[in-house]
């Protein structure tokens, strides 16, 4: 008879082959066991799939592949955040001595990564106005060390829709790779891989997860580049936990229905704001950015929004507002903020799935 101590540790486990769950189970384990040394050796010879959850896990694999299929890409991987996915993707293409050409109006956190952290790795970044193709091309001509062009399909916070056809032309002309952050647009709105991008990143914290309860990232694209990015995820510890991958997969199931409702609400709020503020809305997506008149008290406006919460992020089922000047783009210098238009009066509104009339009443109350 085994002792109570041994019985407590070695509890009975059900045979998985007899279980057919409707949804994917959660594999909340740090490692996987082997029945013999031969089976363990077989893993290293390519005959096994899972060893340790930092290197691979069924939940993280399922998330990466699910988003890849939605984007029309051959392969995808999950990472611990959107920034992790972006970093892994960039390091799959560039190394010390290489250069990146990046849009100057990207998310503030990405701008900081490009300007500060990659420079510490010996990677130089050229920021450019991506509406000025002459400026972009001159950089590509002057700096043949450029190996990667990076932008966002819909930029943060001013919602410029990137001309992916132009980037594809530069890719063919100069032999560079193209990487796009598709967080704001999501696969519901656009598929950059199908339009020539080599890598597509997502902050799955936002629309893919959709419920403001995970921090996750996903990178999809060319299989060879994803293989390289996966090495960075594993070796730099950028992996996503199984539970957060499981939650994100659950959220992913409702992406289309959420985006349909959120986009409709964004359109209605953009129309309401017209004439009251300077408005940026490209006619797609669920974000509306607007700039209040200088004579309006922005602090009072924010505090008058009631149940529309002030948060430093976006894309949940609840409508929220954020303050780019003091959060997402806080690390930029005043000159950098002014150059891209981030003033103290700018508001970024993330549309939720509430009733449209209720949202318009809240906005109207805040303006009044």
Tokens of 182: 């598709």
2 assigned to some structural domain: no
Does 237 reside within a domain?
yes
CATH code for position 339:
3.90.1150.10
232 inside domain: yes
Q: Which of 196, 229, 252 is a domain's end point? A: 252
Q: What is the pLDDT of residue 207?
A: 98
Q: Answer for the pair 167, 149: CB distance below 8 angstroms, yes or no.
A: yes
Q: Are residues 273 and 233 in the same domain?
A: no
pLDDT tens track for 119-159 = 999 999 999 999 999 999 999 999 999 999 999 999 999 99
For residue 18, pLDDT beyond 90: no
pLDDT for the residue 14? 61
Looking at the structure, tell me whether residues 155 and 288 fall in a common domain. Answer: no
Supply φ then ψ for residue 174, to 5 degrees: -115, 0
Of 189, 172, 191, nearest in space to 180 by CA:
191
Full residue range of the structural domain in which residue 307 is found: 256-367
Q: Is residue 28 part of a domain?
A: no
The whole-angstrom separation of Cα 265 and Cα 323 is 20
Please indicate, yes or no, if residue 20 is contained in any of the structural domains.
Answer: no
The confidence band for 20, taking pLDDT boundaries of 50, 70 and 90, is confident
Q: Are residues 156 and 184 in the same domain?
A: yes
Q: Please state, rounded to an integer, the average pLDDT across all residues of the chain.
A: 95
Please report which confidence band the pLDDT of residue 17 belongs to, taking 50, 70 and 90 as the band edges: low
Residue 10: the pLDDT is 79
Sequence-distant (≥ 6) Cβ neighbours of residue 78 within 8 angstroms: 60, 61, 63, 64, 204, 216, 217, 218, 239, 240, 245, 248
Helix axes 164-174, 133-142, angle to 10 degrees: 20
Handedness of CA 125, 164, 289, 88 (dihedral sign): negative
Indicate if 201 and 266 belong to the same structural domain.
no
Label residue 4 by pLDDT band (50, 70, 90). Answer: confident
Q: What is the pLDDT of residues 309-337, one digit of tens each?
A: 999 999 999 999 999 998 888 888 899 88
- Number of domains the chain is built from: 2
Starting from the edge strand earliest in sequence, which strands make up the sheet with 124-128, in order?
A: 75-79, 217-221, 199-203, 177-181, 146-152, 99-103, 124-128
Bridge partners of 247, per DSSP, are none
CATH number at residue 212: 3.40.640.10
For the chain, the residue count is 368
The pLDDT value given to residue 297 = 95
pLDDT for position 114:
96
231 plus 86 within the same structural domain: yes
Asked if 220 and 268 sit in the same domain, the reply is: no
Pairing of strands 346-350, 320-322: antiparallel
Burial of 61 (0-12, 13-18, 19+ CB in 10 A): middle
| Same domain as 191, residue 241 | yes
Beta bridge partners of 218: 78, 202
Three-state SS string over 187-233 comes to: HHHCCHHHHCCCEEEEECCCCCCCCCCCCCEEEEECHHHHHHHHHHH
Residues 125 and 153 in one domain: yes
- Asked whether residue 240 falls in the same domain as residue 288, the answer is no
| Shared-domain flag, residues 224 and 76 | yes
Helix, strand, coil share (%) of the chain residues, nearest 5: 40, 15, 40
Q: Would you say residue 179 lies in a domain?
A: yes
User: Is position 24 within any domain?
Assistant: no
In three-state secondary structure terms, 141 is helix
Six token digits for residue 94: 């560039």
- Using alpha carbons, list the distances in angstroms from residue 328 to 63, 87, 255, 292, 321: 26, 18, 24, 18, 12
Q: Do both 356 and 207 map to the same domain?
A: no
User: Which of 252, 286, 320 is a domain's end point?
Assistant: 252
In which residue are the tokens 């420079």 written?
119
pLDDT tier for residue 6 given thresholds of 50, 70 and 90: confident
Phi-psi label, residue 186: left if phi above 0, alpha if psi -120 to 50, beta otherwise? left
* Residue at a domain's end among 217, 236, 252: 252
Q: Tell me, what's the pLDDT at 340?
A: 86
75 and 210 both lie in a single domain: yes
pLDDT tens string 188-217? 999 999 999 999 999 999 999 999 999 999
């Amino acid at each position: 008879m085994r002792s109570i101590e041994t019985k407590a540790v070695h509890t009975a486990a059900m045979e998985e082959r007899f279980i057919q769950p409707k949804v994917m189970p959660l594999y909340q384990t740090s490692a996987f066991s082997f029945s013999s040394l031969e089976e363990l050796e077989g893993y290293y010879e390519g005959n096994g799939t899972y060893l340790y959850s930092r290197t691979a896990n069924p939940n993280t694999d399922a998330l990466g592949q699910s988003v890849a299929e939605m984007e029309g890409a051959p392969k995808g991987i999950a990472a611990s955040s959107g920034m992790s996915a972006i970093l892994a993707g960039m390091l799959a293409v560039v190394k010390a001595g290489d250069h990146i050409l990046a849009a100057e109006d990207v998310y503030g956190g990405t701008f900081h990564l490009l300007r500060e952290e990659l420079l510490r790795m010996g990677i130089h970044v050229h920021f450019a106005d991506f509406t000025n193709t002459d400026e972009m091309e001159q950089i590509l001509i002057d700096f043949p060390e450029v190996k990667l062009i990076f932008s966002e399909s819909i930029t943060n916070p001013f919602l410029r829709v990137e001309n992916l056809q132009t980037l594809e032309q530069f890719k063919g002309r100069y032999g560079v790779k193209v990487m796009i952050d598709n967080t704001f647009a999501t696969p519901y709105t656009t598929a950059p891989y199908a339009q020539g991008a080599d890598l597509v990143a997502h902050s799955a914290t936002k629309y893919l997860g959709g419920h403001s309860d995970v921090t996750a990232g996903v990178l999809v694209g060319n299989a060879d580049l994803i293989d390289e990015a996966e090495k960075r995820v594993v070796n730099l510890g950028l992996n996503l936990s199984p539970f957060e991958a499981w939650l994100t997969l659950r959220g992913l199931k409702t992406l289309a229905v959420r985006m349909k409702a959120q986009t409709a609400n964004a359109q209605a709020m953009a129309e309401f704001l017209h004439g009251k503020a300077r408005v940026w809305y490209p006619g797609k997506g669920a974000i509306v950015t607007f700039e209040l008149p200088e004579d309006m008290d922005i602090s009072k406006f924010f505090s008058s929004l009631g149940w529309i919460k002030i948060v430093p992020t976006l894309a949940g089922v609840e409508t929220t507002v954020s303050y780019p000047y003091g959060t997402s783009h806080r690390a930029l210098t005043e000159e950098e903020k002014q150059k891209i238009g981030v003033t103290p009066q700018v508001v970024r509104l993330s549309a939720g799935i509430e009733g449209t009339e209720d949202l318009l009443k809240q906005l109207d109350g805040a303006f009044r």
